Homo-oligomer: A and B are copies of this chain.
Amino acid sequence: MGRQLKYDQARLAVLNVIAEDRLRPGDKLAPERQLISRMNCSMITLRKALESLEREGMLERSVGRGTFLKRCVTNDSRSGKILFLNVNRPGDLSYPPPRAREYMQFYFNERGMEFQYLQVSSFSNEIVKEAEDVLGILLYGWLSDDFMKSIASLKIPMIIVGNSRHFSGIPQVELDIKACAELVTEDLIRGGARRIVLFNSAPDYYPSYDLESGFRKAMKRHGLNENAESVIFMTDGNRGKELDRLIPAYMEYDAMIFELGIYYSFLAASRINHWNLKQKIGISPLSIDFIDQWNCDLVRASPDTIFGRFRQSIFEIASNMLLEYILSSREMKTIRLKPEIDHGLEEE
């Protein structure tokens, strides 16, 4: 590793310690010995980093008394940036939740890095240009082979945020959707359900396959009947009308599992149709990242419903992981978050 890279990493690692310890101007930094072990670097490298931050006016070192924070990271003291690429097929826009974007912006800014969000539909010169002074990339959305091949050629630390196909050598933070569907199905079976239907999202939506396979795995394990009719893939057309036609065919079933987006359409269709269904309802998955006011209200008002829920945020974990990747240059491993069962959200 080049010397300059090592010092740049150490500088960022000191900023990270300051952020982790929530230091305010005037506060004293942890002793050097502790910093060395937390940053996993040599005393020489640490001292170079502290000197450089002292020159920038962020730290004040006083012989015998220690090192003090003089001022927080400001716009001017930021160096290097993180690129968040939201890759979407044309005409099919999806976005990270606003709260997650706030989090990432704050997380990296606080640690002395710019955070740049870019919406793209294909690999382009714009990305190459923006990637010039980039320390790391977070990838989100619809990732094609071609796109990934081009982006990987940039040789920048990168992490895929969210479920997508796996690309060799690129670490990912994703939800274990299969385990989630399995858990919800198991819970319904334990509650006495034998005939269960899964209303799944569109077949080309990446997590649909995992949802189906988790569901079928749990059904098979208990020797329960599952066939082509057990899993419905909804199109992106008028889902209300589709459900009007489909639901009556499943009146004799014991339980229904919905993908969260489909559950919304189901609720609206239910009110019109007065189906008066007696089935148990399961929903998979509910991710902490998408719990906004509306989702929260909706879910809270569903007391007899079983949720497969993820309590950790893929955006938080991916941010932490990308920083560690940048600071340590160590290869990262894909993380698959585990779901749990939740019988209605508890009060906040």
Residues of A at under 8 Å CB distance from B?
74-75, 93-99, 101-102, 119, 129-130, 238-241, 243, 261, 264-265, 267-272, 274, 276-277, 281, 293-294, 297-304, 347
Cross-chain contact B276 with A301 (CB below 8 angstroms): no
Report the separation of the CA atoms of residues A102 and B97 in the bound assembly, to the nearest whole angstrom. Answer: 13
What are 12 A-B contacts with C-beta separation under 8 Å? Answer: A95-B102, A96-B98, A238-B300, A239-B301, A240-B300, A264-B297, A267-B267, A267-B268, A267-B270, A268-B298, A268-B302, A271-B281
A292 to chain B, nearest CB (A): 8
A304 contacts across to B, CB distance below 8 A: 272
Determine whether the beta carbon of B98 is less than 8 Å from that of A301: no
Contact partner of A240 (CB less than 8 A), chosen from B270, B274, B303, is B303
Q: Smallest distance from the beta carbon of A145 to chain B beta carbons, Å?
A: 26
What is the copy number of this chain in the assembly?
Answer: 2
Cα separation A270 to B347 with both chains bound (whole Å): 20
CA distance A97 to B303 in the complex (A): 28
Instruction: Answer whether A293 and B261 are a contact pair too, CB < 8 Å, given A267-B268, A268-B267.
Output: yes
Q: Give chain B residues whose Cβ lies under 8 Å from the Cβ of A300.
A: 238-240, 265, 268
Task: Contact check, B95 vs A95: say whether CB atoms are below 8 A apart.
Answer: no
- Cα–Cα, bound, A344→B130 (Å): 43
- Separation of A303 and B272 alpha carbons in the complex (Å): 8
Measured in the bound complex, the distance between the Cα atoms of B299 and A101 in whole Å is 27
Other-chain contact of A265, B74, B99, B270, B297 (Cβ < 8 Å): B297
Whether the Cβ atoms of B297 and A268 lie closer than 8 Å is yes
Q: Known contacts A294-B264, A297-B265, A298-B268; decide if A98 and B95 are in contact (CB<8 Å).
A: yes
Instruction: Please measure, in the bound complex, the distance between the C-alpha atom of A293 and the C-alpha atom of B239, giving whole angstroms.
Output: 12
Question: A97: which B residues are within 8 A, CB to CB?
Answer: 98
Cβ contact of A301, chosen from B93, B129, B130, B240, cutoff 8 A:
B240
Q: Report which of B94, B238, B301 forms a contact with A293, defined as CB distance below 8 A.
A: B94
Task: State whether B261 touches A267 (Cβ < 8 A).
Answer: no
